[in-house]
Amino acid sequence: MGSRLSPEANAEVPREALSFHGDATGAQVHLDDQRSTARRRSTFHDGIVFSQRPVWPGERVALRVLRHEDGWCGGLRVGFTRLDPAQVAASCLPPFVCPDLEEQSPTWAALLPEGFVRAGNVVCFWVNRRGWLFAKVNAGRPLLLRKDVLVQGAPLWAVMDVYGTTKAIELLDPKANAWITSGEPMPESEVTSGEECVICFHNTANTRLMPCGHSQFCGSCAWHIFKDTARCPMCRWQIEEVAVEPSVKSGEGS
């Protein structure tokens, strides 16, 4: 039976600094000797990496984007999984965390907006006790990525996919940057959904997918998703409705 993480245990047990798991890595991943840097050798996929230990609810996973590579569509994916990397053979890892690993295991991950994953940016992500997955870049506002992570009953490991335009990342000590560990996530009504569409990276994100509520898409891309797959690319929930956000002016055609 797996161990169970609780807030009480979290307060008492010292945390080992996060590093990448040394064995469970995608086929194209190269780790440095300290297992703090992960680089994708070639192509745009097979870049999955895990934390070497479980991550507590509320604990920040901090990383720096070291290298950006043009020519691909989309970049770093981040999230959490109940899949213990110590029990995973590297040869069995799929090419993508979304949707492949999510379909094969209890895994919850999301694409980060293009503005988050530029070289030099510091990104942190975490899941709170309600199962909400957040991320923020540098000292910016938190971005709510999804709201369905199961945090009770089993440990969660951080999972990252060094995908597409993201060529290399480095894990950081959250204590080195005060903004990473300071403050609680903002109320849902105040969490930003990003400024540009995470699909086309051009138009303003002004559309909300229902019922999951993800709103990182412009109207054009949202309708294409609805017609093509009818599943949210962030959480894979079935889309029942596409709603335009009245408070956001569209950047389409500008």
Under the banding of pLDDT at 50, 70 and 90, the label for residue 34 is very high
| Chain segment 88-101, per-residue pLDDT in tens | 999 999 999 998 99
Query: Which of 70-79, 169-178, 226-235 tops mean pLDDT?
Result: 70-79
- Which CATH superfamily groups domain 193-254? Zinc/RING finger domain, C3HC4 (zinc finger) (3.30.40.10)
Structure tokens of 131?
């199962």
27, with CB counted inside 10 A (0-12, 13-18, 19+), is middle
Number of neighbours of residue 162 by Cβ within 10 angstroms: 29
What pTM value is reported for the model?
A: 0.72
Instruction: Tell me the Ramachandran region of residue 140: left when phi exceeds 0, alpha when psi lies from -120 to 50, beta otherwise.
Output: beta
Q: Is the pLDDT of residue 251 over 70?
A: no
Give the residue extent of every domain in the chain: 7-185, 193-254
Under the banding of pLDDT at 50, 70 and 90, the label for residue 19 is very high
Bigger pLDDT: 13 or 203?
203
| Chain segment 53-86, per-residue pLDDT in tens | 999 999 999 999 999 999 888 899 999 999 999 9
**Mean pLDDT for the chain overall:** 84
Structure tokens of 227?
């017609």
Q: Is the pLDDT of residue 107 over 90?
A: yes
Q: Is the pLDDT of residue 30 over 50?
A: yes
Asked whether 203 and 154 are in contact (CB, 8 A), the reply is: no
CATH tag for 7-185 (out of 2.120.10.70, 2.60.120.920, 3.40.190.10, 1.10.3720.10): 2.60.120.920
